[in-house]
Amino acid sequence: MRRALSLSLLACILASGCGDRYPIEDALDDRRMTASAHLKALNRYLAAGAGNRQLAKQDSCHLVLKKSRNAGPGERLVIALTNSQVDIASVPANDGLRVKVTQYHDGVRRVSLRLDVESWFDAVAWRSHFQQLQLKCRDARERAAASPPA
């Protein structure tokens, strides 16, 4: 009897601190983040990888990649969210990972951005923030198509 009571008490203690009782307010909710917050997160990774690049929002479906040059004016590249894809590949030379944003122009695949990161978590986080911007673009296009012309 005493052993059964001890086991049931132990089960109650374990059940109260495990599993689905994790406070969900601590979890990051990408869908509630603004486009600006996603850009800020993407730019933190870019600054850590190579401080001479920054993404800015052109409109809801286009980003501008600014590359500053030490010896002259910077380069600006427009990245269309609708036809971009993020790939993650390993980099054997430094045991890291490379995040690549590719776009298709006239049927030709072109790499618009390369970013080396150290961990799988960083690579997946970068891809997730980029994909959230793609979802926001799609939602904006759907809202525009659904609204009657003025």
Q: Which tens digit of pLDDT belongs to each residue from 5-52?
A: 555 554 545 555 544 444 444 445 556 789 999 999 999 999 887 678
CB atoms within 10 A of CB 20: 5
Q: What's the pLDDT tens digit per position in 52-72? A: 889 999 999 999 999 876 655
- Report residue 45 as tokens: 């990774």
The answer to whether the pTM exceeds 0.85 is: no
Phi, psi of 138 (to 5 degrees): -60, -45
